Amino acid sequence: MKTLLEASRRTRTETDIEHGLFNVIFNIAAAFAILIGIWAVACLVSGFASQGPLAMFRGYLSAVTGF
């Protein structure tokens, strides 16, 4: 009985550690995704401010089509 109880505690502790580790890794990944999104918006706003929306659209079309 004592061995079964120890095994149950060990499994519960390992599960708690895995759950906590998953939460930490998930939060780090989410933070990086948010930072990348903020950086992308900042670059887009900078491009609009320096070239204007029409030039940005024209550049996008030329990059996609090759003309």
Taking the C-alpha atoms of residue 65 and residue 67, their distance in angstroms, rounded to an integer, is: 6
- pLDDT attached to residue 4: 58
Q: What's the CA angle centered on 39, arms 36 and 40, to 5 degrees? A: 85
54: number of Cβ within 10 Å: 9
Per-residue pLDDT of the chain (67 residues; tens, 9 = 90+): 556 556 556 666 767 888 889 999 999 999 999 999 999 999 999 999 999 999 999 999 999 999 8
Taking the C-alpha atoms of residue 63 and residue 52, their distance in angstroms, rounded to an integer, is: 17
- pLDDT attached to residue 2: 59
